[in-house]
Structure 1
Amino acid sequence: MAVNGPVAVCVDAGTTVIKAVVFDEEGRELAVARRETAVAHPRPDRAEQDMAAVWRAVAAAAAEAVRRVPEPVRLIAVTAQGDGAWLVDRAHRPVRRAVLWNDARAAGVVRRWRADGVLERAFRVNASLTNAGLPNAILRVLAEEEPDALDAAHAVLTCGSWLFLRLTGRLGIDASEASAPWLDLRTGAYGESLLAEYGLTEHRRLLPPLLSGDGLVAELTSEAAGELGVAAGTPVVLAPYDIVATALGTGATAAGHATCVLGTTLCTEILVDRAELGGEPSGLTLDFGVPGLLMRAFPTLAGTGVLDWTVALLGLRDHDELSDLAAGVPPGADGLRLLPYLSPAGERAPFLDPSASGLVAGLRFPHGRAHLARAVLEGLAHVIRDCLDAAPGRPTELRLCGGGTASALWCRLIADITGVPTATARDTEVGAKGALLFALTALGAHRDLPAAAGALVGPGRRFEPDQDLRALYEREHAEFLATRRLAAARWGEGPGDE
């Protein structure tokens, strides 16, 4: 299926914001449209979305972006939030609200699997450490709490595969979304032994067809075309899910390239040429259909939500004011330290503990609002270093993307604390750019991903580590880890924990 023309609309469906970006033949952003989406919390530990509402937001954003450009759109590409469980019936209708990646209802399941050795045995097959937001854990809970929903379901999808289904009518899932928790990385197929480990053999029918190659490209249906204002038959490409797409969008396309997404989740990731099934189980390993290339990803549950919490707590306007406040405090925040594990689901990378919680340490009378602001930014930077230390190899550069890159201070702190130079992306919508690179390569417009990145991705700002601060931040990181070890001894002892 060929693409005749330069204009592409690329959808990046995040958890709370849907973005549709129109690119020209040089990879420049011509138009960006956004729609917010709501996350329902029926209980504090639960996070769900209305699947039909997500589709409507995507259609509306894409239609608005398309209206802003004079040329006809000749390509659609989709990337989206990953994990979770998006259940559809045989008529491709939602069975219930989607259970999201940051839902914690399966925390008890994960604890049981860890105690029984299931997590470690599964890691030796798929090089991914199951957390409460992955579909295997969610299905295990739904089998116990909502068996009627699973009986009514025909397939368990992710956000991206749900949108691909709505756009094209094709049911399936790509390798990046299937890798954790379903794929045996030795064969590239669904691992039957994994299903047995998860106690889900009887629900094998819910796993959708694996899509690869030409299967990731399909034509836009007449119904979807009417909603988007794009011609029916336009090629639609299902790109890898967002953490892979964002890495591609920064230009990371070869083994050793590293990226960190400063978004709702801090996702530190590095491209590798083979799966490591040994060692300490940690993070995710994602196959995204490129021979000889896999993604080792450490998607934390700590991220810009911690900044949102701090902004609200301190009565600030926004992240910019938080960064300005933090800039007035010296490195190390005068001994104030923050463990930023604020998610109700605990933490999932580089360590897994559904009971993990935040902690402020070293607090004294002289500390004020600015110290807390600084400690938050530094604490999140220590989390990124923790992930880099768990990753294979040592990158020579860490490419940063996401909303957090608006803070030059935070980008510089990450370089100082990790000891790795950081570089921001030139593009503002990096996930959409990554979807574009993948789509154009899949359709033959570029020889491969490195060629596409070389033609369409440009550099942004670069930050070198301050060598005068290395000794300080080495001590600070050791203290950060020591504080976490002490806190971890008490995690899980609070009310409501098992």
Structure 2
Amino acid sequence: MRNSMAKYFLGLDAGSTLCKAAVFDLAGRQFSEAKRRTPMSRPHAGWCELDPEICWHAVLEVISEAVDTCGIPPAEIGGIGISAAMVGAWVVDAAGNALRPGINWEDSRSQTILNRMIAADPAVMSKIFQSSGSVLQQGCTLPVLAWLVENEPEVMARAAHVLSYKDFIRLKLTGLAATDRSEASVIPGSARQRQRSAGMITLFGLDDHARLLPPVFDSETTQSGLTAEAAAMTGLAEGLPVAIGAGDVAATVIGAGGLAAGVATAVLGTTCMVGICHDRPVFTPPDLGLLFSLPGDVWYRSMVNVAGTLNLDWAIGALAPDLAGLADRYQQVTALAEAVPIGARDLVYLPYLSESGIIAPVVSLDARAQFAGLTSRHGRPELFRAIFEGVALALRDLFDALDFDGNRVVLTGGGSQSPFWTQMIADVLQRQVVVPEGTQFGARGAALLAATALGHFADIRAASRSVAGGGLTYQPNAEMKEAYDAALRRYRQHRDRLLAGN
């Protein structure tokens, strides 16, 4: 079913731990929002998995709730756009049934295979970077697939497709096994060709399994529609167009209005990321950071700290369990931090909380979070102040690695909803920070891809421009510069000492 007059579109954004859906109009205004937790499983050290059945039911529930609460007749919703956490591996049989838990991008089980590749060719990681433009993370699809072939041959013998999370969702909604260029180029693939790379597939010894990787389409196209079963479970019409969609990074940049060369977009969500859009693939600095091939022939050169708001959530659970269940827990820990001066009384926090280490400002698989300078005079207020500052200073590290000379940054993600944290970031960067209107930028970007696919915008760049502007602007306070520069020097001293030991 295609309703060319429809002016409303549903966007789905399935993150690593939270599945979200929202309904938008063509101006990007949000009419509803639904969320469901999707708990992460870590059954072994370095493993990071999601239960496909739980995730699928979460998708159905958030779509149904977003449709039911938006105040718009379902018949006026013209299509669905989808986005989700990128790479990893979701293995399904010919009927589309998952054969094992979905492997998340943060998973590091493939490191044993990478170690063997590096031993055979010490330059192999640089060769991969020269193709994909990205430092290879252990949770990328090709190394994970190589691990599955080696360690779970009985599962792979039954496999029909190996998909990313987004593409698993589309398969369940429509029956179509496919992927988009943002995924294909980073598994690792070819950033220049915006496509999978036969050379990379061969490098990982996967020529006999290349058939498991689905065909590649442009994100802003529709190749399938809702099945009768999915329509019945969501309250939408059978055949409703579902766009190919894009990975969560691409969708967030689009939804934040950042799909234009020279625009810097930062994400302070579970992951902490900073990037700049370009009209060509950028491979400098070499062997550092990530390069995403976005729809509209745009490339997003980014630096990633891996752990962002995850640091604060961990700290609340570990350091303030009495606050963990409270609705105002973030306000309470913010009040604690606000009472402490800049520099957290010489306490420094390095926000390297991910089990997979960091890939910027340097690559270090063994980098782990820590407090430095901790003494008996430090209590919860200083600990939380140091955590807020540690993430903000890590963002500064990422910007410096990109050599960004602009004076304006678009900030998205859950952390951007904290005025205290956002002003701190503006002061640390000494740049204007703009928080766009809205909260679900990944879902909005996905919805704009669907609207573009159905002809409502000339192209996806125009769609992204249409939602740029507005929101809140935080101006840097020059009076804070000296204090934050001193905090940055202490931070980098401890950072360098930690990384030198790795």
What TM-score does the superposition give when structure 2 sets the normalisation length? Answer: 0.92
- Cα distance in 2 for partners of 1:195, 1:474 equals 45
Match of 1:459 in 2: 470
Given candidates 266, 270, 278, the residue that maps to 1:272 is 278
Instruction: Report the Cα distance in structure 2 between the residues aligned to 1:141 and 1:320, rounded to whole angstroms.
Output: 43
Q: Distance in 2 between matches of 1:478 and 1:114?
A: 34
Distance 1:481 1:200, change over 3 A: farther
What code does the residue aligned with 1:196 have?
Answer: T
> How far apart are residue 214 of structure 1 and its match?
6.9
**1:198-213 equivalences in 2 (<5 Å):** 198-212=204-218
Query: 1:337 Cα deviation (Å)?
Result: 0.5
Equivalent runs, 1:300-311 vs 2, <5 Å: 300-311=305-316
- Other-structure match for 2:91: 87
Amino acid aligned to 2:253: A
Partner of 1:177: 183
Deviation at 1:2, TM superposition (A): 5.9
Which sections of structure 1, spanning at least 5 residues, go unmatched? 492-498
| 1:104 is aligned to 2:108 | yes
Matched, 1:31 2:36: no
| 3-state DSSP of counterpart to 2:177 | coil
Matches within 5 A, 1:80-479: 80-114=84-118, 116-212=122-218, 215-277=221-283, 279-291=285-297, 293-315=298-320, 316-317=323-324, 318-391=329-402, 393-479=404-490
Q: Percent identity?
A: 34
Contact 1:347 1:354 in 2 (8 A): yes
Report if aligned partners of 2:227, 2:238 keep a CA contact under 8 Å in 1. Answer: yes
**Is 1:256–1:393's contact at 8 Å kept on the other side of the alignment?**
no
Verify the 8 A CA contact 2:86 2:248 in the aligned structure 1.
yes
Q: Once structures 1 and 2 are overlaid, which stretch shifts more, 295-304 or 240-249?
A: 295-304
Q: Please list the CA deviations of residues 380-436 of structure 1 after superposition, one character each: whole Å capped at 9, or x if unmatched.
A: 111111221222543321111121122111101111112221111210211111112
Residue deviations 1:208-230 (CA, integer Å, cap 9, x gap): 11112675442222121111110
Aligned partner of 2:491: which letter? F
1:401 is matched by which residue type in structure 2? T
Change (3 A) 1:213 1:137: closer
Contact 2:255 2:467 in 1 (8 A): no
Q: Unpaired runs of 5+ in structure 2? A: none
d(CA) in 1 for partners of 2:476, 2:57:
44
Q: Which amino acid aligns with 2:229?
A: E
CA separation in 2, counterparts of 1:326 and 1:49?
Answer: 34
Deviation at 1:156, TM superposition (A): 1.4
The verdict on how the C-alpha distance between 1:436 and 1:213 changes in structure 2, with shifts beyond 3 A counting, is: closer
- Over 3 Å counting, the alpha-carbon distance change for 1:422 and 1:184 in structure 2 is same
Q: Report the residue type matching 2:29 in the other structure.
A: R
Going from structure 1 to structure 2, the CA distance change for 1:41 and 1:203 (only over 3 Å counts) comes to same
**Backbone CA RMSD of aligned residues:** 2.0
> Residue 163 of structure 1: CA displacement?
0.9
The 2-side partners of 1:407 and 1:191 are apart by 41
Deviations 1:314-333 (CA, angstroms, capped at 9, x unpaired): 32342222211111111111
Q: Report which stretch shifted further, 15-24 or 386-395.
A: 386-395
Q: Aligned equivalents of 1:461 and 1:320: distance in 2?
A: 19
Structure 1 SS opposite 2:128: helix
- Name the aligned partner's letter for residue 424 of structure 1: V
Using the TM superposition, give the Cα deviation of residue 278 of structure 1 relative to its aligned residue in structure 2, in angstroms: 5.2
Residues 450 and 192 of structure 1, relative CA distance in 2, 3 Å threshold: closer
Compared CA separation, residues 71 and 36, structure 1 to 2 (3 A): same
Residue 494 of structure 1: aligned partner: none
Once the 2 structures are TM-superposed, how far is the Cα of residue 79 of structure 1 from its aligned partner? 1.0
How far apart, CA to CA, are the structure 2 residues paired with 1:341 and 1:409?
22
Distance in 2 between residues matched to 1:125 and 1:378, nearest whole Å: 35
* Counterpart-to-counterpart distance in 2, 1:94 and 1:436: 26
Equivalent pair of 2:219/2:246 in contact (CA under 8 Å): no
Q: How has the CA–CA distance of structure 1 residues 406 and 278 changed in structure 2, closer, same or farther, with 3 Å as cutoff?
A: closer
Mapping of residues 34-73 of structure 1, within 5 Å: 34-68=35-69, 69-72=71-74, 73=77
Distance 1:108 1:289, change over 3 A: same
- Deviation of the 1:273 alpha carbon: 1.4
- Which secondary structure state, in structure 2, belongs to the residue aligned with residue 75 of structure 1? strand
Q: In structure 2, do the counterparts of structure 1 residues 449 and 392 end up closer, same or farther at CA, with 3 Å as the change threshold?
A: farther
1:496 maps to none
Distance 1:489 1:413 in 2: 28
The more displaced of 178-187 and 52-61 is: 178-187
Q: Mean Cα displacement is larger for which, 133-142 or 213-222?
A: 213-222
SS in 2 for 1:399: strand
Specify the alignment match of 1:495 in structure 2: none
Q: Distance in 2 between matches of 1:76 and 1:280?
A: 37
Task: Give the secondary-structure state (helix, strand or coil) at the position aligned to 1:465.
Answer: coil
CA distance in 2, matches of 1:271, 1:112: 35
Equivalent residues of 2:142, 2:187 under 8 A apart: yes
- Give the 3 Å change call, closer, same or farther, for CA 484–33 of structure 1 in structure 2: same
Kept in 2, the 8 Å contact 1:268–1:299? The answer is: yes
Q: Which moved more, 1:14-23 or 1:142-151?
A: 142-151
How far the C-alpha of 1:25 sits from its partner, in A, is 4.1
Aligned residues of 1:11 and 1:62 also touching (Cα < 8 A): yes
User: Where do 4+ consecutive residues of structure 1 move more than 6 Å?
Assistant: none
User: Which residue in the other structure is 1:76 paired with?
Assistant: 80
Aligned mates of 1:249, 1:90 — CA distance in 2: 34
Residues in 2 aligned to 1:278 and 1:152: alpha-carbon distance in whole angstroms: 41
SS at match of 2:472: strand
Q: 1:375 to 1:457 in 2, by over 3 A?
A: same
Whole-Å separation in 1 of the counterparts to 2:191 and 2:15? 27
How far apart are 1:352 and its partner, in Å? Answer: 2.5
Structure-2 separation of matches of 1:265 and 1:483: 22
Please list the CA deviations of residues 151-191 of structure 1 after superposition, one character each: whole Å capped at 9, or x if unmatched.
Answer: 22222111111111111211111011112133222333321
Secondary structure of the residue that 1:104 maps to in structure 2? Answer: coil
